[in-house]
Amino acid sequence: MARKRILITGAAGFLGSHLCDRFIKEDFQVIGMDNLITGDLRNIEHLFKLENFEFYNHDVSKFVYVAGNLDYILHFASPASPIDYLKIPIQTLKVGSLGIHNLLGLARSKKSRLLIASTSEVYGDPTVNPQPEEYWGNVNPVGPRGVYDEAKRFQEAITMAYHTFHGLETRIVRIFNTYGPRMRLNDGRVLPAFIGQALRGEDLTIFGDGSQTRSFCYVDDLVEGIYRLLFSDYVQPMNIGNPDEITIKEFCEEIIKLTGAKQKVVYNELPTDDPKQRRPDIIKAKAILGWEPKVNRAEGLKITYEYFKSLSEHEIKHKDFTYYNNK
């Protein structure tokens, strides 16, 4: 029987590359697409030798053409860290609006099932904790995160409209903070920031007083949740994340213990609109997908630390953002 064919956008990114691995493992024909603004081919270079993997260097904000049939599309192309939103705000908006429009058109013409990567950022700076899917959020459309948050909210809206109006098969996953190997060491997110600082012998930077909370999910758990959602019948948005909530200050202490860092912790200004609390309500994922996270933070952090340590000294030291120059 011919292999099922799946298009994965953002294939060279952190989550996209792990999804490519998973669908290759499940014997799909995987068509990866990425414009490499924030993605890195090294994340998928081990796949190029495989006959069931193809890759296209393409910006999905422009018309997307894929030859042949297509059973599934996963839209994971997007900048996804607060530093990215500041550096490339227009691309962030375009991939979540023009990009998804192109992919919806492609899905219609190929009769594919489309799953989109949404985010806990649709809840903004939430006033309820944990956040259930029914919560509508508290988003500042014109703040620094607005380009991401509103693009993702629009993406959910247009995806749902194609589902209800055109009967397209769609799935929406709301992804909470996720970590693991292949995160960019210089993407500004808190985990690579702390580990990078520990490895370079720099002071660790807590933003604000560190009382804000996050809930970190190991990437393998996330991929399993997405896999189950894709093959479920559930069309409403679904939270996938780890509800084990921790303050950033406690998280910093865990990283210091893990890395044995001797340098001091400094407190910097809290970025604008930085959410004070974030924790997924995963009642739906548990009931509908039979899913819950399996990897605890101690295990996940150890694997992730080993990954960062295995990078070259140049990569660990290299902190600028030259990859944006290719656009």
In the bound complex, what is the minimum distance in angstroms from residue 145's beta carbon to ligand UDP? 8
Check if 148 is active-site: yes
Neighbours of 249 (CB within 10 A): 16
DSSP secondary structure code for residue 54 in this structure: E
- Residues whose CB is less than 8 angstroms from the CB of residue 35 and which lie 6 or more positions away in sequence, other chains included: 57, 58, 59, 60, 77, 327
Which one of 253, 254, 274, 315 is in contact with ligand UDP (CB under 6 A)?
274
Q: Which is nearer to ligand UDP, 56 or 275 (CB)?
A: 275
Give least dist CB 81 to ligand UDP, A.
6
- Measured in residues, the chain has a length of 327
Binding map of ligand UDP across residues 178-207, x = CB under 6 A, - = no contact? ----------xxx--x-----------xxx
Among 18, 152, 182, 214, binds ligand UDP (CB under 6 A): 214
Contact between 145 and 125 (Cβ < 8 Å): no
Which one from 148, 179, 218, 305 is the annotated catalytic residue? 148
Determine how β-strand 72-75 pairs with β-strand 113-119: parallel
Q: Which is nearer to ligand UDP, 143 or 271 (CB)?
A: 271
Range 98-137, binding ligand UDP (CB under 6 A): none
| 186 vs 321: CA distance, rounded Å | 8
Closer residue to ligand UDP (CB): 100 or 206: 206
C-alpha distances in Å from residue 291, one per residue of 135, 177, 277: 21, 17, 23
245 exposure class (CB count in 10 Å sphere: 0-12, 13-18, 19+): middle
Interface with ligand UDP: number of residues (CB under 6 A): 16
Write the DSSP assignment of 247-273 as a string of letters: EHHHHHHHHHHHHT--SPEEEEPPPTT
Q: Considering beta carbons, is residue 102 or 212 the nearer one to ligand UDP?
A: 212
The reply on whether position 259 binds ligand UDP by CB under 6 A is: no
CA distance 171 to 113: 8
Distance in Å, CB of 136 to ligand UDP, minimum: 19
Q: Of 174 and 189, which has the nearer Cβ to ligand UDP?
A: 189
Instruction: Please give the positions annotated as active site.
Output: 148
Residues within the interface to ligand UDP (CB under 6 A): 81-82, 177, 188-190, 193, 205-207, 212, 214, 248, 270-271, 274
